[in-house]
Homo-oligomer: A and B are copies of this chain.
Amino acid sequence: MINKEIITHSFEDLQEAICTELNILDGVSAFKKDTWYRREGGGGVSAIIESGNLIEKGGVNFSAVWGPTPGHIREQFQYEGDRFYATGVSIVLHPSNPYVPIIHMNIRYFELDEHIWWFGGGIDLTPHYIDLQEAGLFHARLKAVCDQHQAANYQKFKTWADDYFFIKHRAETRGVGGIFFDRLSQPGEKEVIFDFVRNLGQSFVPLYKEIANRKRSMPFSERERQWQFLRRGRYVEFNLVLDRGTKFGLETNGRTESILMSLPPMATWKYDYQPQKDSPEWHTLQSLKKNIDWAHA
């Protein structure tokens, strides 16, 4: 029988495997690991890479935290539950080359009072320059993973990502989306759902490798770099204003440096910046919209 210990160990192993493979993919810098403990129960391991060849700043975090459920978190869950258990793996990678997209993945498992449980997760791609072929490839690969599992529904999860990774105050999507799901739970189906979640986690490196290797050697100039900094500013806005995981972490007294590993190495803000009409930057802005069928765009 599947239980939280098995899930937790599987997430730990996944972090380890992803770091090992990303170390090889980066080729220069290596992940630095910090173990931390939470006073109220649990802790985690943060694996951070900075100033790499491919990755300018990134993190692959594992955590397993538990304890009394804070009041405001209870409200958010809309479940009663005196004690919670949460474990997950979170990844954010900011590449140095502006032609390589930012990638994010998170998979997580929650338990309340040992009898209410659910899985959640998501993966999304934030190109500084949108490339239809790349976005199509990304979505096709995610659809293929979903299609292998009864527990997953690509169309539903793709729409969910469009809604979740949306910067309301900018009326822009964060990037080309991906899939997002939460509260996946069905009596007797824990193993089936876990299979999907684990499979998604295992598909991260092959997928990122395919995408990063297409463009990591493309030459770029100061212009593309400046645009990358501006788009990273939007990434900061999403994570600090809207991201539920970030809020949950900061509100449950998580480790701030681990939670905020998602922030980019450098970001800029220019007042009311508008790229020139028909420029590549302008075309990217035009495509930051919901409901684009990227798999067939």
Contacts and interface: CB of A to CB of B under 8 A. Distances in A.
Interface stretch (A80-88, A209-217, A234-242): A234-242
Nearest to A253: B169
Contacts of A240: 236-237, 240-241
B57 A271 contact: yes
A202 interface: no
B266 A229 contact: yes
A271 B169 contact: no
Interface stretch (A127-135, A185-193, A257-265): A257-265
Given A169-B256, A170-B256, A240-B241, A233 B263 contact: yes
Contacts of A241: 240-241, 250
Contacts of A256: 169-170
Contacts of A236: 236, 240, 267
Given A240-B237, A250-B169, A250-B241, A270 B50 contact: yes
A32 B241 CA distance: 27
Contacts of A268: 265-267
Interface residues of A, number: 31
**Count of identical protomers in the assembly:** 2
Given A169-B250, A229-B266, A266-B266, A271 B237 contact: no
Contacts of A264: 269
A266 B267 contact: yes
Nearest to A261: B271
Given A241-B240, A263-B233, A272 B250 contact: no
Nearest to A254: B169
A241 B256 CA distance: 13
20 contacts: A32-B271, A34-B272, A50-B271, A57-B269, A57-B271, A169-B259, A170-B256, A236-B236, A236-B240, A237-B260, A241-B241, A261-B271, A263-B269, A264-B269, A265-B269, A266-B266, A266-B267, A266-B268, A267-B267, A267-B268
Given A32-B271, A57-B269, A57-B271, 19 more contacts: A34-B272, A48-B272, A50-B270, A59-B271, A168-B250, A169-B250, A169-B256, A233-B263, A236-B236, A236-B267, A237-B260, A240-B240, A241-B241, A257-B271, A263-B269, A264-B269, A265-B268, A265-B269, A267-B267
